Structure 1
Amino acid sequence: MPASVRHRRSLLRTPDPHGHAKVSFAELFFDLVFVFAVTQLSHRLIGHFTLEGVLQTLFLMLAVWWVWVFTSWVTNWLDPELTPVRACLFAFMLLGLLMSGAIPEAFDGRALMFAGSYVGIQVGRTLFFLWAARGGGPVLVRNFQRILTWLACSGLLWIAGALVDEWRLPCWVAALSLEYVAPSLGFAVPGLGRSATTDWAISGGHLAERCALFVIIALGESLLVTGATFSSHDVTADTALAFVVAFAGSLALWWLYFDTTHDLATGRIAQSQDPGRLARLSYTYLHLLIVAGIILNAAGDEFVLAHPMGPTGLQTAVCVLGGFGLYILGVGLFKWSVMGRWPWSHAVAIGVLGLASLGADRWPAVLTSAVACGVLVGLAAWERHSRRLAG
C-alpha cells in the first residue's frame, strides 16, 4: 500500500521532508482556550497571594500545561486538516473551557468539574489517537497503549480526589506526579515494555513552534494584565511610568526568547538525530519555567501598577524579581539543553536580581520593576552581541 494512502487512512500527517510540519489553524484555534486558562491562573495568583494560594496556583498551572503540551505532541502526529482530528480538537476545546472555568474554585466547589474535564481530555485524546493511528505502525500504537495505562491510573486518582475532600490534595498530587514522571520512565508498563526517545519520530520544528506560540499566549496575558490594570486607574505621572516600565518588561521577555533563543533551538531540534529526547526535556519540561516566570511577572505588573510609588512589598518583590529570575533560569536551562553548555550570562543576570532583592524593600515598586527590566534588557543585548561574535 502506498505511504500516502496508509497515512490518510490512519489520520497521521504525511512526514515532512524538512522536519517542520505546518502548524494548522485548527491548532491555533485550540490554543485560544489556553489564553483563558492563563488569564484564570494569573487572576487566581493575584487574588490568592498566600503560600497556600501560590502553591495551589502552581499546581493548577502544571496541570494546564500538561494538557496543552500532550495535545501538541499528539497533533505532531495526527493531521488537524482532517475532519475527524478537527472534531476531536474541538471537543477537547469544550472540555478545556470547562477546565479553565473551574480554575478559581478547583480546590473547592468545582473540583469535580476541573478533574473530570482534565481526565476527559487526557484519556479521551489517547483513546482517539489509538483509533486514529490504526495502520500507522506498531511502535507508535504500542507507545500510546503505554500512555493510556499511565493516564488511566492517574485519572482514577484525579476523580477520587475530586469526590472526597480529605483525599483531594494527596490524590491530586499523586496523580500529577505520576503523569510528570511517566515520560522520563518511557511510560514503562509490565508486558508492554518502555518507550525509547528514538521511538518518538516527531517533527521537531513543529513542536518548537507550538511551544513558542504558548510563550506568546503567556506574554499576551502579561500585556492584557498591564493594559487592564492601567485603564482601571487614574492616569498620573506615576501610573504612566509604571505602565511604560511594565510594557518594556514584556518586550524584554519577548526579546530574550525569540531573538536570541528560539531560532537556534528550532534548528537544533529539526536537525537532531533524536528529536524525541530534545522535545521531552527542552520543550515538555523546561518550558514550564519560562511560562511560570511570565505568569508570575504578570502578577507583579498588576501589583506595581496598583501602587507604583509605594514600597516594594514581599509579594511585589517575589513576582517582579522572582518572575524575571525564573524566566531567565528557564531560558538558560533551555539553551543548555539544546546547545550542551550553560550560558553564564544568565547566571550573572540571576545574581544581579538576587542582589537587587536585598535592598528592594527600601525602593518604590516602580523602581524595583525598572531595575528588573534593565537586567533583562542588558541580558538580551549581551546574548545578541555574543551571537553576532559567534556568527
Structure 2
Amino acid sequence: MSQGIFPIQRIRVWYRPMRSRDSGENHRVSTPLELLFDLCFVVAVGAASADLHHELVEGHIGHGILSYAMVFFAIWWGWLNFSWFASAFDTDDVPYRLATLVQIAGGLTVAAGVDRAFNGDFRVVMVGYVLMRLAMVTQWLRAAKSDPERRTTALWYAGGITFVQALWVADALIGFPQATAAILFAVLVVCELAVPSIAESRGGTSWHPHHIAERYGLFTLIVLGEVVLSATTAVKEGVSEGEHVGTLIGLAAAGLVLVFSMWWLYFDQPGHLRLVRHPSLLSTSSWGYGHYLIFASAAAVGTGLELAVDYDTHHSEISGLATALVVTVPVAVFLLSVWLLHIGPTNECREIAIGYPLTAVLVLAASFGPAPIHVTAVLAAALVALTVFASHGRLRSA
C-alpha cells in the first residue's frame, strides 16, 4: 500500500494547479525559496551601493546618484513583482521553483552588470532584467491557465510585461544619445509601474497582507545588514592604517546607533496595518511602490558612512558638506518615507506624527553644523525615544 501512496505524493509535489491562495490564510510566512531570493538580490544591492561609493568618492556626484537610482530600480522592481506574485500564487512545486531560480539568475546577472552600468553600458543589466521579467511572464501565463477567475488579470500582466520588455530591448538595441536615453528610461519606468495598476483593475489578485508586510520587512532587514557590513568594512580598512583610530571608532558608534534607530523606527508600527485598513488599489500601490525610497535610501546610508570614513582618512575628493549630505539626505528620505507609509501624517498620536518630519528637517540642518553624522545619530535615537514614551503614555491612558 505504501508503494502506491509515495508516487502520488511525488506527483502532487512536482506539479500543482496554480490557483489563487487565500488572502486570509493562517500562519502564512515567507518560504525558504523567498529567503534565498532576497539573499541573492541583496548581492545586487551591495554592488549598486559599492559603485555609488566609488563614484561619490571621486567627486562624480550627479552621475553616481543617477546611475544608482536607475540600477536600483531594476533590482527593486524585479524583487517587488516576484514578492506580490508569490503572495497570491505560490505553489512551491517544481515548475514554480525552476521559474523562480531563473529569476534569481536574472538578478545575479543584473548584479554582474552594475559596474558597466555605472560607466554607461547597461547591456548586461538589461539581459538580466529581461531574464527576470520573462520568467515572470511564464508564471502569469501559468496562473491564467489554472485560475479561471483571475485569468483576465493574469493575461493583462503577462501581456503588459512582455510589451514593456520589448520596448526595453528596442531601446537598448537602438542606442539613443545619453540625454534622450535618460528620458526614455523615465518613460519606460512609468510603463512598468502602470502594468500592475492596469492588470489589477481587471480583477485584484489575492495577495496576503501579513505575508507582504513580512516580505518587505525582511528585505529591509537585509538591506540594513548590508549597511552594517559596508560601514564595518570601511572602518576596518581605516583602522588598519593605524591613524585616526579615535575618530573612526566614534564614527562607527554613530553609524551603529543610526542603523539601530532606523530598524526600530521601521518596525515600530506593524507594516500590515496600512494594507488592512486601506485596501484600495491606490493605497496599496503607494505603499508598495513607496518602499523604493525606503530600500534605496537605507542602502545609500551605508554608502554615506563609507564615504565619511574616506573623508576622515583623507581618501575622498569631495567636501565635508557633501560628505555629510550623502548621509543626512538618505536618512531624511528614510524617515519621511516611513512616516508616510507606516506612521501616517494623521496618526492619532500627534507627538509621533509630528516627530518624524521634524526630525527629518533637523537631520538635514545638521549637515551644516559640526559632527553632522553624530548629530544625525542622536536625532534618530531621540525619535526612537519619543515613539517609545509617546506610545507608552497612550497605552497607559487607554
TM-score, structure 2 normalization: 0.83
Counterpart Cα distance in 2 of 1:151 and 1:288: 19
Aligned length: 365
Aligned to 1:299: 303
Partner of 1:266: 272
The partner residue of 2:237 within 232, 236, 244 is 232
Q: 1:205-231 CA distances to partner (integer Å, 9 max, x unpaired)?
A: 001000111111210110110111112
Contact 1:130 1:144 in 2 (8 A): yes
Tell whether the 8 Å contact from 1:23 to 1:206 is kept in structure 2 after alignment: yes
- Classify the secondary structure of the residue corresponding to 1:233: helix
CA deviation after TM superposition for structure 1 residue 24, in Å: 0.3
CA–CA distance in structure 2, aligned partners of residues 266 and 97 of structure 1: 29
- Shift of residue 70, structure 1, vs aligned partner: 0.5
Alignment of 1:227-376 (within 5 A): 227-234=232-239, 236-258=245-267, 260-261=268-269, 263=270, 265-269=271-275, 271-272=276-277, 274=279, 278-282=283-287, 284-308=288-312, 313-336=320-343, 343-357=353-367, 359-360=368-369, 363=370, 367-376=371-380
RMSD over aligned Cα atoms: 2.6
Percent of residue pairs identical: 22
In the alignment, which of 221, 224, 245 is matched to residue 219 of structure 1? 224
Contact 1:317 1:368 in 2 (8 A): yes
Residue 191 of structure 1 aligns with which residue? none
Q: Aligned equivalents of 2:331 and 2:111: distance in 1? A: 25
Question: How far has the Cα of 1:110 moved from its partner?
Answer: 4.8
Residue 90 (structure 1) aligns with: 101
Q: Distance in 2 between matches of 1:253 and 1:75?
A: 27
| Conservation of the 8 A alpha-carbon contact between 2:254 and 2:374 | yes
Question: d(CA) in 2 for partners of 1:356 and 1:251?
Answer: 19
Match of 2:47? 40
Pair 1:165-2:175 in alignment: yes
- Equivalent residue number for residue 148 of structure 1: 158
Q: Which residue of structure 1 lines up, in the alignment, with residue 38 of structure 2?
A: 31
Residues 169-195 of structure 1: CA deviation (Å, up to 9, x unaligned): 3433322221123444x348xxxxx43
Call closer, same or farther: CA 1:216–1:275 in 2, change over 3 Å.
farther
- Contact 1:160–1:171 (CA under 8 A) maintained in structure 2: no
The answer to whether the Cα contact below 8 Å between 1:281 and 1:337 also exists between their aligned partners in 2 is no
| Partner Cα distance (1:273, 1:370) in 2 | 37
How far, CA to CA, are the matches of 1:82 and 1:337 in structure 2?
39
Residue 47 of structure 1, CA deviation? 1.3
**2:83 aligned with 1:72, yes or no?**
yes
Extract unaligned runs of 5+ from structure 1: 189-193
Cα deviation, residue 326, structure 1: 0.5
Structure-1 residue corresponding to 2:3:
none
What secondary structure, in the 3-state scheme, does the structure 2 residue paired with 1:122 have? helix
For the pair shown, which has the larger CA radius of gyration, 1 or 2? 2
Secondary structure class of the residue paired with 1:81: coil
Per the alignment, residue 8 of structure 2 pairs with none
Alignment check: 8 A CA contact 1:157 1:171 kept:
no
Residues of 1 paired with 2:360 and 2:40: CA distance? 33
Q: 2-side partners of 1:177 and 1:21: how far apart?
A: 32
Query: What is the rounded CA distance, in whole Å, between the counterparts of 2:84 and 2:67 in structure 1?
Result: 26
In structure 2, relative to structure 1, the CA distance for the partners of 1:115 and 1:15 (3 Å cut) is: same
2:92, 2:46 → 1: CA distance? 28
Q: 2:127 aligns with which of 94, 110, 116?
A: 116
Equivalent-residue separation in structure 1 for 2:278 and 2:193 (angstroms): 24
Offset at 1:157? 2.2
Shift of residue 14, structure 1, vs aligned partner:
4.3
Distance 2:117 2:232 in 1: 27
Once residues 73 and 89 of structure 1 are traced to their aligned partners in structure 2, the CA distance between those partners, rounded to angstroms, is 13
Deviations 1:14-47 (A, max 9, x none): 4264466221001101111211111011011111
Question: Partner residue of 2:137?
Answer: 126
SS of residue in 1 equivalent to 2:238: coil
Partners of 1:74 and 1:327 in 2: CA distance: 26
CA distance in 2, matches of 1:301, 1:273: 36
Aligned-partner Cα distance in 1 for 2:373–2:364 = 14
Closer, same or farther in 2 for the Cα pair 1:273/1:297, shift >3 Å? Answer: closer
Give 1:390 deviation, angstroms. Answer: 2.6
- Between the aligned partners of 2:375 and 2:251, the Cα distance in structure 1 is 12
- Sort the Cα spacing of 1:294 and 1:273 in 2 relative to 1 into closer, same or farther, 3 A: closer
Distance change (3 Å), C-alpha of 1:272 and 1:126: farther
